[in-house]
Structure 1
Amino acid sequence: MLKDIIEKLRSKGCKITPQRRIIIQSLIKFTKFPTASELCNDIRQTNPEISLDTVYRNLNLLIDMGVVNQINLPGKDANVFELSLEGHHHHLVCLGCGAADCLDYCPVDEKELQKATGLKFEIIGHSLELYGYCEKCKALSK
Structure 2
Amino acid sequence: MLSTNQIIEAMSSQGLRITDQRKTLARLFAETEGYLSPKDVYEYMGRTYSGLSFDTVYRNLRVMQELGVLEQVIFEDGVKFKASCSSGHHHHHLICLQCQKTLPIEFCPMQLTDTPDQFQVVEHKFEIFGYCKDCQVSGKVSPKTNQNQASSKGQ
Unaligned stretches of 5+ in structure 1?
Answer: none
Unaligned stretches of 5+ in structure 2?
Answer: 148-155
- CA distances 1:53-99 after superposition (whole Å, capped 9, x unpaired): 11111111111100000121102xx12211003234324243xx4x4
2:120 maps to a residue whose letter is F
Once the two structures are TM-superposed, the CA of residue 39 in structure 1 deviates from its matched residue by: 1.0
| Cα contact 1:69–1:84 (8 A) shared by 2 | yes
Q: For residues 132 and 80 of structure 1, do their structure 2 counterparts lie closer, same or farther at Cα, with a shift above 3 Å needed?
A: same
Once the two structures are TM-superposed, the CA of residue 139 in structure 1 deviates from its matched residue by: 5.5
TM-score, normalisation: structure 2: 0.70
| 1:100 aligned counterpart, secondary structure | coil
Once the two structures are TM-superposed, the CA of residue 130 in structure 1 deviates from its matched residue by: 1.5
Q: Aligned residue for 2:125?
A: 127
| Cα contact 1:93–1:129 (8 A) shared by 2 | no
Count of residue pairs the alignment pairs up: 135
| Cα contact 1:68–1:81 (8 A) shared by 2 | yes
- Report % sequence identity: 24
| Cα contact 2:94–2:103 (8 A) shared by 1 | yes
2:56 maps to a residue whose letter is T
Q: For residues 101 and 117 of structure 1, do their structure 2 counterparts lie closer, same or farther at Cα, with a shift above 3 Å needed?
A: farther
> Alignment RMSD, CA only?
2.6
Structure with greater Cα Rg = 2
